[in-house]
Amino acid sequence: MDRLLCCVTRRESRKVNKTIGLETFEERRTRWRSIRLMYLTMFVMSTGFTIILTAVWPYLTKLDPNVGKEFLGFVTAAGPLAETIFSPILGYWSNKSGSARQPLLATLALMVLASAGYSLLEAFPASTAKYWMIITRFLIGVSAANVTVIRSYISAATTLDERTGATSILALCQVMGYIFGPVVQSILTSLLGNDGFPIIEGFISMNMYTSVGWVIVVLSSINFVLLLPQFFTEQHIAVREEMKTQGISTPLPDSQPVWKKSKLDYLAAFSLIFGYFVLVFNIALLENLGIPIVMDQFAWTNEEAVYYMGIVMAVGAIISVTVIALLKFVCKYISEANLVIYGGFLFMFIGRLAYIPWGDAPPQLQFSRKKFLDGYNETV
């Protein structure tokens, strides 16, 4: 036992030596606990985003059987639009207050309310339920905008040597949420089905659509509690590292003078931002349109489409987890720029080519099958 404690002590000492002069051992433990809570928050937010993706269109048609796919576009755009608007607002709030906790707690509370509202859509009249879905999706998008705050805190709470590894793990947690969400949706689909069981007869039911919202309510509530001051203490070591690099020994009341002396490559920064935009554009396009496409092309039912697409998304996310796990090793031999170009965008381009229908056999269109069945029933 003494030998084990000795080994652990030596290991922790080596970790502290990397940031000697910047923090104490206790500050380091507090800082990494806060970083791990950011990993958890990223996992919860990505789970909340993906857990309902595969079921939006079937849920929408259940609420209003006469709704068209044009309306699905508004529902799909509501979340990203909110995230686009509120990402800079939350970033400004975090910078102005000097704290990541305030915007994170606010958005997690909003996620609880929006997810509960999403699960209660069946209680609204069919004529207005679809509009309430847009509102709940918009509020979920506002909540998802806290990813900006999470990423900025990780950058502020890590040293230059730690940052690549920490951001890789953050991306890993995001992808793990992408796995967990569709898997949970597929499991709940097989367990509860389209009808489920009533909680309040004729008002609220627990089915494959509403249950996922309650899952997010529980996860977000737990996450909210863990970000309270009793568990989460913010530690900003990046500014201290930069002050040490610049030879500034006197603590400053504001970190802005420190960062103003650092040169920022705006071209490289905006190139990466645009590249991230292209990546997310492709992901959102395929994930949101995947369900209606497979339902039309393969004549799948609501349950089949949600179940199988959940499995497909989970498999894709598992591949992403494998790639992310290898990044730190691969980056030792291949430059990050070449990895982004040839390992990222090139494969994404090839993958999009694979989505083009191949072969001479026409697809089994859903409306053709429905028309045949309707004609058969009339004949019988």
Whether 370 is covered by a domain: the verdict is: no
Position 365 scores a pLDDT of 61
What CATH number corresponds to the domain at position 105?
A: 1.20.1250.20
Position 288 scores a pLDDT of 66
Whether 328 is covered by a domain: the verdict is: no
Residues 82, 158, 260: CA angle, nearest 5 degrees: 75
Cβ 70 vs Cβ 333: under 8 Å: no
H helix runs in the chain, sequence order: 2-17, 25-50, 56-63, 69-97, 101-119, 126-144, 147-156, 160-192, 210-226, 238-246, 256-260, 266-298, 302-330, 336-340, 346-354, 366-379
* pLDDT tens, the chain, 380 aa long: 445 434 444 444 455 556 656 667 888 888 889 999 999 999 998 888 778 877 888 888 888 888 887 788 888 888 888 988 999 999 899 888 888 899 999 999 999 999 999 999 988 888 888 899 999 999 998 998 898 899 989 988 888 778 778 888 888 888 788 778 878 888 888 888 888 888 877 677 888 888 889 999 999 999 999 999 999 988 887 766 666 665 555 555 455 555 455 567 778 888 888 887 887 777 767 666 777 777 777 777 777 877 787 787 778 777 877 877 777 777 778 877 787 787 778 888 887 787 777 767 766 665 554 444 455 444 44
Cβ 223 vs Cβ 44: under 8 Å: yes
Whether 206 is covered by a domain: the verdict is: yes
Whether 299 is covered by a domain: the verdict is: no
In the chain, how many domains are there? 1
Centre a 10 Å sphere on the Cβ of residue 50 and count the other Cβ atoms it contains: 27
Distance CA 89, CA 14 (A): 40
Distance CA 23, CA 159 (A): 11
Model confidence, pTM: 0.73
Whether 68 is covered by a domain: the verdict is: yes
Q: In the 8-state DSSP scheme, what is residue 196?
A: -
Whether 312 is covered by a domain: the verdict is: no
Cβ 159 vs Cβ 94: under 8 Å: no
Whether 305 is covered by a domain: the verdict is: no
Distance CA 12, CA 154 (A): 21
Whether 9 is covered by a domain: the verdict is: no
The range of the structural domain enclosing residue 32 comes to 26-262
